[in-house]
Structure 1
Amino acid sequence: MNRYVDFLNNISGNVLLGCDGFVDEVYEIVDVRKSLTEFTAIDNLKEFGELIVKRADGGVGLEIVPKRRCSGGFTPNTGRVAAFLGLKPTLAGLYGEKTIDPAFEEFTENCNLLSLGDPALTLVFEFSDGKILMSALKSVANLTWTEFVEFFGEEKVKELFADVDILGLGYWSLTPDFDKFLTGFISQYQESKPPRRMFFDFADIKKKSSESFLESLALIKKYNEKVPMTISLNEHEGAELFSRFGLEWKEEPQQVASGLTTLREKIGIDELVVHTPHFGAASSATDGEGYAMQELQTKVIRTAGAGDTFNGGYLCASLGDLSVKERLVIANAATAFFVTHATAPTKEEMIAQIEKASDK
């Protein structure tokens, strides 16, 4: 525990994340209503799927009940972890055109929040074991690197990217101009000191064609020599990546870690990470491969944003001199705390969560 305590108590670094921003309207789906104020929700995602399949030849009428309206997307959910650890990250994205949307108010004091326009909307149907997300992507999908530069101006953009330790970009599958954003980000370091690492969340790989996917990977390989690159995926994205390169996916941590090494070498990237509800695994060109088991949480109150929170924990852990296993342990702790508290942990809460973990 001493290494975790020492790292977290002394964590420092500049983090810049871009360029999305979603407002999540989260609902639960009524299974049985007892009265005007009492009902039982559909708790299991598989159960909901079976209901849809069972009624596929007719129709399905369902009652939804709002749970919360909150921030969503790569920048806020990933940045929240850095903010709660005291890093005050810079988040450049879509948080409100004229005024900051109330969903992002929590970030106005502990982050450097830079808003380019109004956020996109995501409808989230949440279950104890997962969620369904349906997004109206117009504002995010229409954002381009050219507009980004025009909004800030070239001098401000240079200032924005100066002295950054960790640079993050998401989501690839939801951002049509992703490749130009990537090229634009890296172009800021032609003459200045590059970040220690650049971090990606691809989101739904299946949404992109093989041609588009390979083009993006080729760019990442090209720029990996300038800035070491990390790609993080959930279990479904990991299985899809394995499949696209002809590898068999078995959700066993050692097998996944070994497969990540094969994929990392084929892609030509510095680091690949996969997170599942049961473990996190990673392969690094400099640090080797490893995995850390994750206890399945039983008192889950929020699942939307769990993967981003893992990424936030791993990203922050990459600021220190920690092993692959230790970075995964911190990321797992951030996730476990988030799904049971609906927020990120402070330094003290992170340490306490790590102490609870059986694999650390």
Structure 2
Amino acid sequence: MEFKTRTLQELRDRRSTLSSKQAILGLDGFVDTIVTPVALRAGQGENFTPISTISEFGQRIAAAAGKSTNIEFYPRMDKLGGNGPIMANAVLAQGAQVTYLGALGTPTVHPVFADLAKRAHAVSLCAAASTTAAEFTDGKIMLGMMKSLDEITPQRIDEVMGAAAYRAALAASDLVALVNWTMIPNMSAIFDDLVSRVLPQLPVKPGRVFFFDLADPEKRSKSDLVYALGVIGKFEQFGRVTLGLNLKEAQQVFAALGFGTESESEAGLRAMADKIRRRLDLTTVVVHPKESAACATRDGTWWVPGPYAAKPLITTGAGDHFNAGFVSGQLMALSPEACLGLGVCTSGHYVRTAQSPTLGDLETFLANWK
């Protein structure tokens, strides 16, 4: 039986359990403007030739050295952004109950988060950050303004949400997902606060999952990264820790931990996930490039191919949707292979439709995936 059939059967057997699960996610929040860079304009509106690749975009910029240049960004849409809100939206779509804690706007929630705030219990800590996301056929470049995220601290959480409410939300949660460590300067302090002050006060909840996504740590120092990874390991005493990494993030973590290099083959991805997991002593490590995904647990390693889309409708948020599918699988107690399958299908559906899939959508996707 191929993995798609096995994943579909596990999903059908367990899907009714997800609606009873509670999750708390955070802590970022962005207003994303999706744009297409213009190479040659022939008329108004969409009458232009786009800059199609990052290499071409880089050449255009490099050619301006010592001179100047003007590059037009043609706006496609304004949308909810940030690793946390996108992941929360996807988890909500699949049926879990969500508390979202993050940068959603002050003094009121920004309009792009209005639907999230209606469907989740939303607590806004500060103004949202903003991103201009330039999408290309071979990737994307995210241009961010995120000074407001400096305000996210343990003290700010206690002040806005209330220490008792914060503890209660954590105590009730089956999933605690803390994402975008890279862009939140005080996130390591929040991790420290949780493992030293908050979580020791809470009763243990069997099966609780702690999920972490670093979000491209290239701009953080190696020492900062290694420290954060060490603190993430301390969450194991309070539940099962999953570290989710795209390929670039996995390579950065792999190097920071002192390993050599691994290939991007199935064997290389399995080995990378396994070595990181063993070094940090975590329950699960996931590595997900665009074309496939692998994970390692204490029981072994798994790999699945992905439903790669050569011409996606949208790519910003694809990784966050993978994460949502994977953790939804964990909340339903699916096998590691089926969690990977749910992850790649959640991402695959999203990049084709720009919509977060329901579990019913995922059943249909799996049943029709050739």
| TM-score normalised according to structure 1 size | 0.93
Q: 1:148 to 1:240 in 2, by over 3 A?
A: same
- Unaligned runs of at least 5 residues, structure 1: none
Look up the match of 1:258.
Answer: 271
CA RMSD of aligned residues (A): 1.8
Q: How many pairs are equivalent?
A: 357
Is the aligned partner of 1:162 residue 2:175? no
CA separation in 2, counterparts of 1:259 and 1:354?
27
CA separation in 2, counterparts of 1:127 and 1:136?
21
Residue 9 of structure 1 contacts residue 347 of structure 1 at CA under 8 Å; is this kept in 2? no
Query: Shift of the alpha carbon at 1:9?
Result: 4.1
Structure 1 residues 71-110: aligned runs within 5 Å: 71-110=80-119
Aligned with 1:225: secondary structure? helix
CA separation in 1, counterparts of 2:43 and 2:155?
54
Is the aligned partner of 1:14 residue 2:27? no
Residue 157 of structure 2 contacts residue 163 of structure 2 at CA under 8 Å; is this kept in 1? no
Look up the match of 2:70.
Answer: 61
Query: Shift of the alpha carbon at 1:351?
Result: 1.1
Deviates more, 1:177-186 or 1:19-28: 177-186
Q: CA deviation digits over 1:241-277, x for unaligned, max 9?
A: 2222222131112221122212211122221111111
Look up the match of 2:5.
Answer: none
Residue 90 of structure 1 contacts residue 111 of structure 1 at CA under 8 Å; is this kept in 2? yes
Structure 1 residues 1-360: aligned runs within 5 Å: 1-12=8-19, 13-37=21-45, 38-56=47-65, 58-186=67-195, 187-190=197-200, 191-194=202-205, 196-244=208-256, 245-285=258-298, 287-358=299-370
Deviates more, 1:219-228 or 1:259-268: 219-228
CA separation in 2, counterparts of 1:248 and 1:220?
23
- Unaligned runs of at least 5 residues, structure 2: 1-7
Query: Shift of the alpha carbon at 1:221?
Result: 2.1
Query: Shift of the alpha carbon at 1:57?
Result: 5.3
Aligned with 1:329: secondary structure? helix
Q: CA deviation digits over 1:262-307, x for unaligned, max 9?
A: 221112222111111111111112x421111013203411111111
Look up the match of 2:3.
Answer: none
2:29 counterpart letter in structure 1 = G
CA separation in 2, counterparts of 1:334 and 1:143?
29
Q: What's the % identity of the aligned pairs?
A: 26
Aligned with 1:99: secondary structure? coil
Q: CA deviation digits over 1:30-79, x for unaligned, max 9?
A: 12222123112222233323433455454332121111111111221111
CA separation in 1, counterparts of 2:269 and 2:194?
30
Residue 31 of structure 1 contacts residue 39 of structure 1 at CA under 8 Å; is this kept in 2? yes
Aligned with 1:51: secondary structure? helix
